[in-house]
Structure 1
Amino acid sequence: MSGHLVCKSGFGLGKVAKLMLASVVVLSAFSGNVWANEAEVPQEPVEKKKEGGKGSWFSKKGDSEKSLPANLPSVTTSNNKVKTPLKDFSVELGPAQNSYIFGSNKGEVDLPTLKDRISLLLNIVTNYGPETPGFGISENIVELFNNKGTIVVPEDIARDLCSLPTGKMKLYVWEHFTGMFARFIATLVTVNAYGDFPKGSEEQKQFMKDLGIQNLDDYYKSKKDSYGKIRKHVLSALTRKPGFGKSADNN
């Protein structure tokens, strides 16, 4: 009876010992895997991919900018050494493009008031010297207006500009107007610099050859980038509303 008990007890202890040994092996292997995974994480830090990883956004942007053909227009640079003064110009009304801020499209637009206010805004937007970051864009805007002589202003922008109060006004209204004005100036400059892509196949081939481009992606990317930089330049220059003279509404 006693031997039976010892035999049974021995069998039970042996089984437990084997199970414990197996558990230790499993735990050791599991623990080893955890440490391996933890050790692998720092070997590929996220910072490296952000700063110079081949697939990072920054490296792609830099590579694409460097690869753009040199013949594409540049509206952000100028070879001028001194600031070019803005010459006298005339204004005309063109078709409205956006919505009226003040909800009025009736009555005559006071062209002398429009010219005075356009001139004031343009002098602010182009008030950048050779040592300032905005000098290149400023000079390109001046060159455009000086060469054209007559500027066609969309009727909605013209009416809103003439209707702006001489003194203080609500900030969101001013920001709404400057947004429209910035898009207007950016469109004028980029269209003048890049031109419109021709429709005929032969003209298109010659157009691309003159610019030294193989596909239209480079052309449109550069044009869009220039538009955005000019728009941002104008918005930055007109952050604060200037003091206008007597408005057309008060004549």
Structure 2
Amino acid sequence: MPEQLVAAETRGTTLVLTLDRPVALNALSRALVDRLADRLEEAAADDAVRAVVLTGSEKAFCAGADIGEIPNMVGASPLDPLPLDRLFETMARLSVPTIAAVRGIAFGGGCELVLACDTAIAGRSASFAVPEVKLGVIPGGGGTQRLVHAIGKAKAMRMLLTGAPVDAEWAYDAGLVADLVDDAQVLGRALELATQIAGNAPRAVAYAADSARRVNDMPLHQGLAHERRNFLLALGTADASEGIDAFTHRRAPAFTGR
């Protein structure tokens, strides 16, 4: 039977996407990456989706790039797109947040996938690594950039230059993941977080996420200007009027996404 690659399940207003390539520990083949990007583009077009949870198996969130496909990139121009480019660009454009729910290994491209998500929950079995230097290459999906922004230069350099894995507790203490829970609670905690997000005004969530994602793209003064723009756009929505009125009259808001 052909591999499913990415399983999709709707849980209320949350879309759960599960990497499903068990024989290869969910390694990121070109086919899997394209399927995941397709699923995320479908989510972007569905107004009922308010958050996306990305997860894998108990043993592996994602083992990284499909090593067998790497030689196909030898000789490529720096201007040519890489397999992960479309996926991460799609994630960056999503108006809904992405939450990684990690058990087992998240190595190489798998760690980069976690970094590309807006936040992450880790189980105690989780381990993270960017081991590309052990293969004579370096991360090619944003790992050198996003890891420094996520945990700081010193800790990122330790991971990048040794290629050694770190455990879930180290990753939590370093700020690579937001929550650390028992493995059995990982998906539940991610869904709980997604439900909390869904209780807020959808356009405000989208504007907040957009502003925060720009931190890595522009200097502070430009980031502040972009935040100010998004603040004023949010303030002009019907949901902002509803939220302020609900707070004033001590009632629960009824957000409509307008």
Which is bigger in relative contact order (C-alpha 8 A, separation at least 6)? 1
Greater C-alpha radius of gyration: 1
TM-score by length of structure 2 reads 0.21
Give the structure-1-normalised TM-score: 0.21
